């Protein structure tokens, strides 16, 4: 099948530590990324999964690299990118990190009213710049408004071939849920709605669409 083809996937949240006991993150469970990795394995790809902190079992036969923060995820994704045929950036990356991580626990009274943040690298945008002919680059978009417009803007700005958009304002879908509803947009103008389904079925449908 696809034995000699490599599929690189990121999954889960990133965690950006404020001090030794607190971090900035998001509720991503990693289920969608792990479902995509399983589907890629079923299709015979050699799969590399770059995973943020999740409570999911490691998938047998998939080379999994665990990372914690956005900079570590960027490094792993970049290291594996050039040799990958299909790259799917499914992780929910924290856009910012605390400027300085304090060691120990900041005491209640000293906890600043605001935390100084710096922007994290946009990993996917960086991968889009490195993309070579023949590589298929897929991103995700978590949107709460102006759904299609925002997703299509990311598709262009990050030099993607496809973007999978989910409506995060719908509490029955997305983050943490076993189900999702996805709208796929391609750089060549295709638009496909994948109706609400378990994430493993969506993963199958996403592969069917992006490989058509």
Using an 8 Å Cβ cutoff, are 73 and 10 in contact?
yes
How far apart are CB 87 and ligand CTP at their closest, in Å? 10
How far apart are CB 145 and ligand CTP at their closest, in Å? 10
Residue number with CB closer to ligand CTP (121 or 198): 121
With 0-12 / 13-18 / 19 or more C-beta atoms within 10 angstroms meaning exposed / middle / buried, residue 61 is exposed
Torsion of CA 152, 158, 159, 165, to 10 degrees: -40
Residue number with CB closer to ligand CTP (141 or 182): 141
Residues that bind ligand CTP (CB under 6 A): 70, 89, 91, 93, 95, 120, 122-124, 139-142, 154
Catalogue the E-assigned strands of the chain.
6-11, 16-17, 23-24, 46-51, 63-66, 86-89, 96-98, 117-119, 136-143, 162-167, 179-186, 191-198
Three-class secondary structure of residue 189 per DSSP: coil
For the chain, how far is it from start to end, CA to CA, in angstroms?
16
Q: Would you call 26 a catalytic residue per the annotation?
A: yes
Candidates 46, 52, 16, 6; CA nearest to 33 is: 52
Active-site annotation holder among 26, 150, 159, 200: 26
Between the CA of residue 131 and those of 36, 65, 134, what are the distances in Å? 20, 21, 9
Distance between CA 77 and CA 198 in Å, rounded?
26
Residues carrying an active site annotation: 26
């Amino acid at each position: 099948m696809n034995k000699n083809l490599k599929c690189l996937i990121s999954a889960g949240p990133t965690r950006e530590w404020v001090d030794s006991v607190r971090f900035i993150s998001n509720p991503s469970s990693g289920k969608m990324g792990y479902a995509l990795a399983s589907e890629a394995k079923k299709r015979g790809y050699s799969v590399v999964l770059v995973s943020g902190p999740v409570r999911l079992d490691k998938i047998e036969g998939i080379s999994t690299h665990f990372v914690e923060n956005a900079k570590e995820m960027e490094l792993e994704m970049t290291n594996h990118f050039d040799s990958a045929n299909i790259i799917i950036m499914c992780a929910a990356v924290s856009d910012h990190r605390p400027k300085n991580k304090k060691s120990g626990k900041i005491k209640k009274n000293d906890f600043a009213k605001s935390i100084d943040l710096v922007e994290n690298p946009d990993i996917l945008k960086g991968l889009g710049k490195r993309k070579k002919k023949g590589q298929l680059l897929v991103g995700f978009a978590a949107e709460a408004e102006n759904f299609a417009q925002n997703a299509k803007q990311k598709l262009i700005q990050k030099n993607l071939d496809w973007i999978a958009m989910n409506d995060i304002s719908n509490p029955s879908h997305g983050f943490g849920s076993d189900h999702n509803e996805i709208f796929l947009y391609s750089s060549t103008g295709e638009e496909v709605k994948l109706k609400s389904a378990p994430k493993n079925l969506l993963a199958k449908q996403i592969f069917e669409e992006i490989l058509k």
